[in-house]
Amino acid sequence: MRWTCIKVVALTILLALMLGGCDDAGALNVPDNAVEIGYESYASSSATSVIYDEADAAIMHFSQNLFREVLINGDANAVISPLSVYYVLAMAALGAEGETFDEFKAVLGMCPHELALELNILAERLMQTEGSTILNLAGSVWICDKLTIDGDFNLAMEYYFDAPALARDFRAEDTLREINRWIHDQTQELIEDAIDEIDPDVIMMLINTLYLSARWASVFNPMSKSYDMFYLESGETIDVPFLNTRRIALYVSVTEYNEAILLPYDDDRLGFFLVRPTDDTTIRDFATSNCLMVILGELEEREGVRVSMPSLDKENEIVLNGHMQALGLNQAFDDRSDFSGLIENAHLYPPIFISELLQTVRIKVNQEGTEAAAATVMVLELMSGSINPIDLNFNTPYIYMIYDRQTGVILFMGVVDNPLE
């Protein structure tokens, strides 16, 4: 994304949007030019307090709902980046119309037309890091070179997500390598081969990557490392490496039901939040019955705190189709979908639908800090492969004939069983 400046729509376009609201899904407006503006810092004096705007609240609501859905599925060691998923959904929403658009709006919690600018600003906020922290959000749009992307949609991708469409031959191996290389580079080599193959029916891919590298605050950097027992819900125990802090002042919450803590990074902004139930509630029941943001808001600074936690090096690949449908995004995945705003002359083609929404996440938590990356890929196809090239190879016995196209008279007919005989 183009994060060197924040782009806003021209005044006339803003007025049109405000007057038109978000009811007309087809009224995607993008700026003819952009102006640079500043914005107030969102830094806060407290380690746990933040200033929420509408987009922040919508993202947090979406994040917890998606995480709950993933946990309900029972995936072991599940790890996701809800923010990366949210960005890809917001990109796709700008090409949706009708009831499909309405579903995107409900799932995202905001009008997609208004959300695009908010996400541009949010990315700028997030990437203005201090200390050792590196945070990068990036987006890309890839389209089958047999189609032409809708002009307004392409401009919106460029202005708000720095992701103008790249036309490629999806049947070429070089295209698969190029897309995987882009993801690999944007995630600082943490994620490799995010996409195994490109189906011949694919017409477009929307991709978001998120990369984070942050060192622990100097008061416990590096942490000490030791081995200790980890107790599974099954009753079994395993011996795993643990990271340990010194006894210092940290933001914690200890109740009869749970324990929670926030470990700061050296940018005085980001933190690593941990919470666990202490009343025999399973971790999945705990996640589905508690609001994590409420627990985060209950943290208070305490002296003499020492924390131990397992070191992590996890990679997770997950297909999110079913999870998104459970959250209310249904039509986008079947023949009821309306993505008329994605390509030119969309009415001439079968419906465009999301065939796959997949995410790969890698997270490493060790003595020095945390490194994490996510790649979210939305794959869009036509209900039929009518625009795909057709390869015909008559390398088995075949029939042939010579006929008069004007009269329909067949002049010669034959069969080839063996071309060499």
Question: Which domains can be identified in the chain, with CATH numbers?
Answer: 7-45+53-212+313-382 (3.30.497.10), 218-312 (2.30.39.10)
Consecutive 10-residue runs of the chain (421 residues): their mean pLDDT? Answer: 31 33 59 35 38 79 89 81 95 97 97 94 90 94 96 96 96 96 97 93 96 90 90 88 90 90 88 88 87 87 90 91 96 95 91 96 92 95 64 64 55 60 52
Q: Judge contact between 118 and 53, C-beta under 8 A.
A: yes
Q: What is the pLDDT of residue 261?
A: 87
CA distances from 104 to 27, 68, 122, 123 (A): 15, 19, 19, 20
Does the predicted model carry a pTM greater than 0.75?
yes
Radius of gyration over every alpha carbon of the chain, rounded to an integer in angstroms: 26
Tell me the two tokens of residue 341. Answer: 């705003």
Q: Judge contact between 256 and 279, C-beta under 8 A.
A: yes
Q: Judge contact between 169 and 177, C-beta under 8 A.
A: no
Which 3 state secondary structure label does DSSP give 63? Answer: helix
Q: What is the pLDDT of residue 43?
A: 30
Q: Judge contact between 331 and 100, C-beta under 8 A.
A: yes
The β-bridge partners of 248 are 305
User: β-strand 352-365 against 258-264: which pairing, if any?
Assistant: unpaired
Torsion angle (degrees, nearest 10) of CA 174, 178, 184, 186: 180
User: β-strand 165-168 against 134-144: which pairing, if any?
Assistant: parallel
Which are the contacts of 221, defined by CB distance < 8 A and separation ≥ 6? 215, 266, 367, 368, 369
